[in-house]
Structure 1
Amino acid sequence: MPVDEIKPTRSGLLIVRRRMALAERIHRLLSMKLDGMMLELVKLADQTALQRKDLEDKYARAREMAAVAAMMEGATGVLLAALSVEASPTYTAGHKNIFGVHLPDLEPVMVKKTLDQRGYGVLGTSSVIDDAADAYEDLLEEIIRSAELEGGVKRLLDDIERTRRRVNALEFKVIPELTEIRRFIEDQRDEMERQEWTRLRRIKKIKAKRAEKL
């Protein structure tokens, strides 16, 4: 039933009170969810900042090891070793539920490889190729972890904004409007009761006068 169709009657007052109780309960739950998401966002943001530092360090090390390998084995030797890898690194994408928000949960697949899985001959290359491969595998794992954290931060920010709009709508629009309607109905009912009491009193006086005449 739309609000403007609610009549100033007892049933109308009950409808408004039920709607107010529901709106206040939803507002309380959403406020608790918003507080929880804000705490989770702070924690994720701190983790993301630390992860970004690790990512930069591992990127610098991977570049350094690649330069050493190119110097020792030549750019062609590094390229041939890279092309010999058959299984491309990837990841599986899932999600974890935090306060009703689906945050990404990424798992590396075939990122870290054994010497046999890399495909190039152990005897045909030096250890600098292995060191460069190790460094880039560490970098790829760090990239996947960073993508998971930054994706979680983005989704939390989006849901925090949506939840905040709903909380504000309930707090500053829905609940105040229902409060005004409840007061209006209560005032109308009080006025109707006063008028009814006045009418009954007048009728009582009329009956009393008629009884005296008899």
Structure 2
Amino acid sequence: MSGAVGREAVFPTRQSLGLMKSKLKGAETGHSLLKRKSEALTKRFREITRRIDEAKRKMGRMMQIAAFSLAEVTYAVGGDIGYQVQESAKQARFRVQAKQDNVSGVLLPQFESVIATGSNDFGLTGLGKGGQQVQRCRETYSRAVETLVELASLQTAFVMLDEVIKVVNRRVNAIEHIIIPRTENTIKYINTELDELDREEFYRLKKVSNKKQRDSAAQDAEMLAKRQAEDNKENEPAKAVIDQPADILGQEDEDVIF
């Protein structure tokens, strides 16, 4: 796998080697951090998935109970009371607040239901008959809406986490299978080139040293030859004096008359 990603186009120098090593260390650190982030997000994602399943099951039961409760109200009152509720409602009693939850740097929205206390605009609805069923139906639908808000919060967090986990996993895979192998190949290439340069430098220095030794030996031989030549020149006159016969009388070689 590492051979298929190639290497970066850099000059094989010591500085480039240091930069590539720093880059490799940073990539490994980033890979480790992103891996931990992915694991944390995946754990939260699984937890949210489990809670969504429970909330949907709970939502089904609550809506079933609410539907039966509404049927009881319709039977007890003798008709639809929806218009009465709409006429008497002046302000929202059930409200939703939004906040954020930080999970490994990812902000997930959370919705909370808030029920205003002391606000009961349609408290007189069903005063003639069916008042108990109306109150029970209102409480049942309030719990159903609370479950719906919880489900909406979980579903929103589920969608956002799904997208974030995909992005983080793509980054982790890119660092693990592309950036780190490419950087390692670049470091190997730089080390190979530097070793080759060192071998060339060693060979050059060896050749220069051999040439210096040869030149020094030639100079020594030349100096020795000159010294021997000078010694030979100095010894030649002395030999000539020794070879010539000495004149005992100190006179020229003439005929002597006895």
TM-score higher than 0.5: yes
Counterpart of 2:112 in structure 1 is: 107
Answer whether contact 1:97 1:103 (CA < 8 A) is retained: yes
The CA deviation at 1:109 is: 2.9
Q: Offset of 1:59 from its aligned partner?
A: 0.6
Aligned equivalent of 1:64: 68
Match of 1:80 in 2: 84
- Aligned partner of 1:17 in structure 2 is 21
Secondary structure of 1:120's aligned partner: coil
CA positional deviation for 1:100: 1.2
Distance 2:89 2:147 in 1: 20
CA offset at residue 98 of structure 1? 0.8
Which deviations, in whole Å up to 9, do the C-alpha atoms of 1:43-75 show, x marking residues without a partner?
A: 111111111111111011111100110111133
- Distance, in Å, in 1 between the alignment partners of 2:14 and 2:90 is 76
Structure 1: runs of 5 or more not aligned: none
RMSD: 1.6
CA distance 1:132–1:83, change in 2 (3 Å): farther
Q: What's the CA shift for 1:107? A: 1.4
Ranges in structure 2 where 5+ consecutive residues have no aligned partner:
1-7, 220-258
Aligned residues of 1:16 and 1:182 also touching (Cα < 8 A)? yes
- Aligned match of 1:120: 123
Number of residue pairs aligned between Structure 1 and Structure 2: 209
Q: Secondary structure at the match of 2:79?
A: helix
| TM value normalised by structure 2 | 0.76
Q: Which of the numbers 144, 147, 150 marks the counterpart of 2:152?
A: 147
Shift in Å, 1:93: 1.3
Q: What are the superposed Cα offsets for residues 24-61 of structure 1, whole Å, 9 maximum, x if unpaired?
A: 11011101111111111111111111111111110111
- Partners of 2:213 and 2:205 in 1: how far apart? 12
The one-letter code sitting in structure 2 at the alignment partner of 1:40 is: R
Distance (whole Å) between structure 2 residues aligned to residue 137 and residue 13 of structure 1: 67
Q: Is the partner of 1:107 in helix, strand or coil?
A: strand
User: Pairwise mapping of residues 158-173 of structure 1 onto structure 2 (< 5 A)?
Assistant: 158-173=163-178
- Please give the alpha-carbon distance, in whole angstroms, between the structure 1 residues aligned to 2:203 and 2:168: 50
What letter matches 1:17 in structure 2? K
Q: CA deviation at 1:78?
A: 4.3
| Bigger-Rg structure (1/2) | 2
**What amino acid maps onto 1:137 in structure 2?**
S
Amino acid at match of 1:75: G
Report if aligned partners of 1:81, 1:120 keep a CA contact under 8 Å in 2. no
**Contact 1:86–1:119 under 8 Å retained in 2:** no
Q: Which residue of 1 aligns with 2:103?
A: 98
Amino acid at match of 2:120: Q
Determine the C-alpha separation between the residues in 2 that align with 1:211 and 1:25: 57
**Under a length normalisation based on structure 1, what TM-score does the superposition of the two structures give?**
0.91
